[in-house]
Amino acid sequence: MKSPTTHLGLPFFDAVHRELGPRLADWIAEQHIDESDDRRACRDWVRRLGDNGWLRYCVPAGKDGALGGALERLDSRALVILRETLAFHSPLADFAFAMQGLGSGAITLAGTPAQQAAYLPQVASGEKIAAFALSEADAGSDAGAMTTRATQAAGGWEINGSKTWISNGGIADFYVTFAKTAPDAGTRGITAFLIDADALGLDASEHIAVMAPHPLATLRFAGCPLDAGAQLGALNGGFKLAMQTLDIFRASVAGAALGMARRALLEAVRHAKSRKMFGQALADFQLTQAKLGEMAALVDAAALLTYRAAWLRDEGERLGSSARVTAEAAMAKMTATENAQRVIDMALQMHGGLGVKVGTKVESLYRDIRSLRIYEGATEVQQLIIGKAVLQS
Ligand code: COS
């Protein structure tokens, strides 16, 4: 089943996107990886996506293409299309792609030329697997409440503490890690660090099993020494850097949810046309038509908010505007993930018993979509962000 591309005719997109979408849709439809072992499969996807040039959209090109990116800047619309198309086929392929972007996003935004040169080309080729370490056991939605501590030591820093729910934990080559550098300063006392997986005192061996398997782990830092060059971005500027990174990638989570919803809708249409009951096709019942109509509208509503958020960010970058797109990204993420959950649930219901049979596409989508309403800012966090923005407007 090939992912649809007709939406690329919308005015949000440029020629580069209209070329990218169908090319990726053709390629991914031919790719099959055994996903029974999520860690091995994720490594395989990163390698394959890297070998075929798709990870080049996770980083900017840099001067004379030195950073390895396909486009001059991180392009939100390209990220959305890539995630939407990959997630339509394999949510794990989408995950592998997305983490290369999220895990290296802070390097793109705030890395020194030396840091960018040392990491971004290898992220783009798939030689280095990236991870983003923000959450802690008691600091998820309240990211500013983190307690992982970075203290100044001879020649650099020492990190102590723990991070959890870290995607790619245990398979990543480096972790962009956020730690308190001024514990009494709240969100203004956090700094980002680039920490290689083989750093002394870093243990990433505690894996976390989840309902839709993907690599996830707890990280423990026990006296982990870092040299001064590991600091990423401004001292005490880490919280804003994390939020700016999320501003880019939240819209892409919406893209992934959209891809899953589009797949569920097509699965439902296919099933409704072929399933016979009471002497006619399931699709002949008005109840079925009403459901499909509702699903299609939910998908399109999500799509428009997602493309708007991505377009607004790209336009702002192009014009050199400093205006934030936080609220628009939050609306896209919240709406697309919530709508996708509903669409997938309706598609599953339409499949009857088959819908819950392990191995049916809608069954795995039902598990795959769930975490998207939680990670990179739960729906409730997005509501808060949007609400604050509305009050300030
Ligand atoms: N871009 C730039 N700066 C931002 C920003 C953004 N998107 N969002 C917030 N900031 C700045 C604010 O302007 C403020 O700056 P000043 O200190 O100069 O005033 C600072 O960051 C603190 O902002 P705020 O007061 O809104 O922070 P809160 O502690 O109230 O937290 C939420 C806000 C809840 C929105 C934030 O903690 C959040 O997004 N939490 C979810 C985290 C998340 O997504 N976790 C998942 C990790 S990845 S799986």
Residue range 118-129, pLDDT digits in tens: 999 999 999 999
What is the identity of the amino acid at 186?
G
Sign, Cα dihedral of 364, 104, 385, 190: positive
Q: Using alpha carbons only, how large is the chain's radius of gyration in Å? A: 21
pLDDT bucket at 132, cuts 50 / 70 / 90: very high
Sequence-distant (≥ 6) Cβ neighbours of residue 38 within 8 angstroms? 92, 213, 214, 215
Identify the CATH number of the domain defined by range 6-128.
Answer: 1.10.540.10
Locate the domains of the chain by residue range: 6-128, 132-236, 246-392
132 Ramachandran zone, left/alpha/beta (phi>0; psi -120 to 50): beta
11: tokens are: 């005015």
Pocket (CB within 6 angstroms of ligand 1): 132, 134-135, 141, 143-144, 187-188, 239-240, 243-244, 246-247, 324, 326, 375-377, 381, 384-385
Tell me whether residue 158 is one of the annotated catalytic residues.
Answer: no
Residue range 363-380, pLDDT digits in tens: 999 999 999 999 999 999
Sign, Cα dihedral of 123, 126, 132, 133: negative
* Per-residue pLDDT at 322 exceeds 90: no
Residue 126's φ and ψ, nearest 5 degrees, are: 90, 5
Section 303-319 average pLDDT: 97
Residue range 251-288, pLDDT digits in tens: 999 999 999 999 999 999 999 999 999 999 999 999 99
- The helix (H) or strand (E) run that includes residue 277 is strand 276-277
Look at residue 289 in the predicted model and tell me its pLDDT.
98
Query: How far apart (Å, rounded) are the C-alpha atoms in residues 120 and 123?
Result: 5
* Per-residue pLDDT at 347 exceeds 90: yes
Cα 57 to middle of ligand 1, angstroms: 26
Mention the CATH class of domain 132-236.
Answer: mainly beta
Identify the CATH number of the domain defined by range 246-392.
Answer: 1.20.140.10
Task: Please enumerate, as own/partner, the contacts of 31-39 that have beta carbons within 8 Å and a separation of 24 or more.
Answer: 31/89, 31/90, 31/93, 33/90, 33/92, 33/93, 35/90, 35/92, 35/213, 38/92, 38/213, 38/214, 38/215, 39/170, 39/171, 39/215
Catalytic residue among 19, 127, 376, 380: 376
